[in-house]
Structure 1
Amino acid sequence: MPLKKILSSVFIILAFIKLYSQNTYVFFGSFNRDKTTEGIYVYELDTIKGKLSKVTSVKGILNPSFLTLSPNGKYVFACTESKTKNAGSVSSFAFNPMDKKLTFINSQKSGGENPVYVTAHQNGKWLINGNYTEGSVSVYPVLENGSIQPAVQNFQFLEGSINPGRQERSHIHSTVFSPNFDYIFLPDLGADKIRSYHFENEKHKPLSPAEPPFTQAVLGSGPRHLTFHPNGKYAYCIEEMGGAVSVYGYDKGRLAPIQRIDTHSEKFKEDFESSDVHISPDGLFLYASNRGVENNIAIFSIQNDGKLKTVGYQPTKGKHPRVFAIDETGKFVIVTNAQSGDAFVFRRNAETGLLKKVGKRVKIKAVSSVQIRRY
């Protein structure tokens, strides 16, 4: 084959690689503390090199501390006015991957102080928000244009648990749908319970108490975030105060305890600040973040019976890894370090589960959450 044709073919292949590698977007939320500064950031992820390149950002919104995406990727929903006294809201933004713009749509009151976690139903018509400080949950209809409507339900919880400094009352820390989206689970750090509600999509008020209405966690453990295995048979709850992951069997709205395993190595005995938990798309590995003195990601292999086996620990290269995310291919893990104000990309070894830093440090002040989406 003539050299000219060979070079032409190479250029075409490289063009396709570049096109493929530049359609994955990464959305970062933060505690910006000031509406005049950037709050939400959008980056492109080079899926060949693992490099992040800034695309756009949004000002005019206060403390967009946690983000989630609509199922079709058109909208970004954020917990806003988090850690703002006597305030709290949830906000909607439209994202257009063609012009790479993020545009504010509207906001609604969160129904409680300090919203910390928001999740969307698979049909895109519902949004459920959890408020930490006042221990409550709000349910919102969402229109086809991404506009959040006023809440149709709000549930307030009061009881606390055994730690008077941290558990004086209920503190809802996440809102997680079941694999079939027919139940919602609410880890309550303040009450040491994983609350559960039945979700009926066609009703005007879709939530009703499940049976049983909660699963009791270990007292003083502080359940925080929950994730389900891709096979739908197991659930994993990370406990902020206990520094552990509790493993549950799952069936028709019920959680049955299987195992509880530390997220920290033996050299750490106290002051746990475990935060986030995710499973690789292949269902073979679980990752859990530790803040505080550890600042690492604990890595576990998932056995056939759902139980976990410790593989190792990966330092996050910063302080206070609050939230992290795994891309849909399972190739990359992106970690946000809130205190050091930076984010890092790690390449994941699909066989061992281990992580290796790639790319450069991305500096984002008080970065607190991340979502990844390929368009």
Structure 2
Amino acid sequence: MRLLFAAFLFSLVLQAPAQDHYLFIGTYTNTGSKGIYVYKFDSNTGELNWVSNTDSSANPSFLAVTGDGKYLYAVNEVSRDRSGFVASYAFDAANGKLSFLNKQSSGSENPCHVSVTKDGKWVAVANYTGGSLAMLPVNTDGSLQPFAQHLVHEGKGFNPQRQEKPHVHSVFFSPEEKYLFSPDLGLDMISIYKFDGAAKEPLLPAANPQVATQPGAGPRHLEFSPGGKYMYVLEELGGAIDVYGYNDGEATFIQRVPTHPSDYKGQPGSADIHVSPDGKFLYASNRGDENNIAIYAINPVNGMIANLGYQSTLGTGPRNFMIDPSGNFLLVANQKTNNIVIFRRNKFTGMLSETGKQLEIPSPVCLKMLKHAF
């Protein structure tokens, strides 16, 4: 009887429905990459299988996918005639292929980050070298109109080598999409804009339009907690995470925590930050001499974080990483070693463990996943 019951349980495991999701990979194309890659990812096993790729896009380094999964937007991180570009693609979930729609100027040089509203009507883009951000309206077929608004930051920061002028590094809509937050690495500042999707020029300065970080911090990316009660800002140059309380466009400082051990003597190079789907843990990637993922527990009462440890990324230059929709796995894109490494994530402890699974991709920069079970 026990053998029959065990066999029955094993058959149920074998019959468990696959949890495949589409994974989109943005890359730099100067080292042999074909552009944007599409894979299927199994959230039960951590397996990746190639589906398709583009072959005519220059440096589609950062990506954004609409909530319905029908369209994808990619920055073309280039500088031609003092401008980079944003490209739009239609995505066919039936065959996993991207179809190029059009591209528009990003307003200035080297766009490095892009976001899209939940309704898919607006695309925001950050221009790193140009020190600006732009807002592009979206047509009903997913293609882009020319930018309707282009805002150029002015000034410089504390570090003369890295902060000689503004460097807008990212653009994030607040959870309720009433505001747009834009970390500027060059100015040690997070700009806050009020967002009105019905206006021709949708951005206006918020009531308190700026959050200043420590001099030389170089804010890069940010992440809101599930529910939007807290905001976590990653400092690239300072090697720290700034914790803020968030409410209706207002950010209130709570805590600053290093992304590296206290005895680390190298140059910080923090790159990306994400909160687990359950809101219990926070992760940040470090490049430079560290090349690891820093792991933190989040206090549910006050949003403060406490370091739990570090996990080697098994490569160098972890520019971007993501947690899959199930929360079972964390995937890291190591830009300099051309590999994407899949780690299993313990949902109870937050810690990561090696699966032995890796994917070789030239210069992977961005990972985005479309939650779509097949």
CA contact (8 A) 1:49 1:359 kept: no
Q: Does 1:239 align with 2:229?
A: no
Q: Does 1:296 align with 2:289?
A: no
Q: Which amino acid aligns with 1:115?
A: P
How far is the alpha carbon of 1:16 from its aligned partner?
5.0
Comparing 186-195 with 80-89, greater Cα deviation is found at 80-89
1:180 match: 176
Q: Among residues 349, 360, 364, which one is paired with 2:361 in the alignment?
A: 364
Alpha-carbon distance in structure 2 between the residues aligned to 1:145 and 1:10:
46
**Secondary structure at the residue paired with 1:347?**
strand
1:80 match: 76
2:26 match: 29
CA contact (8 A) 2:134 2:150 kept: yes
Q: Does 1:312 align with 2:315?
A: no
CA contact (8 A) 1:301 1:309 kept: yes
2:214 match: 218
Cα deviation 1:199-233 (Å, max 9, x = unaligned): 01211211111111110110000000011011211
Q: Among residues 86, 101, 104, which one is paired with 2:97 in the alignment?
A: 101
2:60 match: 64
How far is the alpha carbon of 1:112 from its aligned partner?
0.8
Alpha-carbon distance in structure 2 between the residues aligned to 1:205 and 1:372:
30
How far is the alpha carbon of 1:367 from its aligned partner?
0.8
How far is the alpha carbon of 1:11 from its aligned partner?
7.0
Alpha-carbon distance in structure 1 between the residues aligned to 2:225 and 2:315:
28
CA contact (8 A) 1:327 1:373 kept: no
CA contact (8 A) 1:24 1:374 kept: yes
Name the count of aligned residue pairs.
369
2:337 match: 340
Alpha-carbon distance in structure 2 between the residues aligned to 1:122 and 1:181:
8
How far is the alpha carbon of 1:78 from its aligned partner?
0.5
Cα deviation 1:243-265 (Å, max 9, x = unaligned): 00000011110111100000001
Q: Does 1:165 align with 2:161?
A: yes
How far is the alpha carbon of 1:83 from its aligned partner?
6.2
CA contact (8 A) 2:91 2:98 kept: yes
CA contact (8 A) 2:166 2:184 kept: yes
1:329 match: 326
Q: Which amino acid aligns with 1:24?
A: H
Matches for 1:184-203 after TM superposition, within 5 Å: 184-203=180-199
1:351 match: 348
TM-aligned CA distance change 1:8 to 1:271, over 3 Å: closer
CA contact (8 A) 2:36 2:54 kept: yes
**Secondary structure at the residue paired with 1:148?**
coil
1:268 match: 264
Alpha-carbon distance in structure 1 between the residues aligned to 2:277 and 2:339:
25
CA contact (8 A) 1:75 1:92 kept: yes
CA contact (8 A) 1:275 1:323 kept: yes
Alpha-carbon distance in structure 2 between the residues aligned to 1:12 and 1:319:
40
Alpha-carbon distance in structure 2 between the residues aligned to 1:8 and 1:285:
36
How far is the alpha carbon of 1:82 from its aligned partner?
3.4
Cα deviation 1:303-340 (Å, max 9, x = unaligned): 02010000110110000000111122211111100011
Consecutive aligned runs of 4 or more in structure 1 exceeding 6 Å deviation: 6-13
Alpha-carbon distance in structure 2 between the residues aligned to 1:7 and 1:257:
55
Alpha-carbon distance in structure 1 between the residues aligned to 2:9 and 2:236:
53
TM-aligned CA distance change 1:11 to 1:243, over 3 Å: same
**Secondary structure at the residue paired with 1:143?**
coil
**Secondary structure at the residue paired with 2:78?**
coil
Alpha-carbon distance in structure 1 between the residues aligned to 2:370 and 2:265:
37
CA contact (8 A) 1:290 1:321 kept: yes
Cα deviation 1:122-169 (Å, max 9, x = unaligned): 111110000000100000111232111110000001211111110011
**Secondary structure at the residue paired with 2:256?**
strand
Comparing 79-88 with 261-270, greater Cα deviation is found at 79-88
CA contact (8 A) 2:188 2:218 kept: yes
How far is the alpha carbon of 1:33 from its aligned partner?
2.2
TM-aligned CA distance change 1:187 to 1:243, over 3 Å: same
TM-aligned CA distance change 1:84 to 1:51, over 3 Å: farther
- What TM-score results when the alignment is normalised by the length of structure 1? 0.94
Comparing 294-303 with 325-334, greater Cα deviation is found at 325-334
Cα deviation 1:109-132 (Å, max 9, x = unaligned): 110100000001111111000000
CA contact (8 A) 1:82 1:116 kept: no
**Secondary structure at the residue paired with 2:108?**
coil
Alpha-carbon distance in structure 1 between the residues aligned to 2:207 and 2:285:
31
- What TM-score results when the alignment is normalised by the length of structure 2? 0.94
CA RMSD of aligned residues (A): 2.1
Alpha-carbon distance in structure 1 between the residues aligned to 2:369 and 2:145:
25
Q: Which amino acid aligns with 2:303?
A: G
Q: Does 1:130 align with 2:126?
A: yes
- Structure 1 unmatched runs, 5+: none
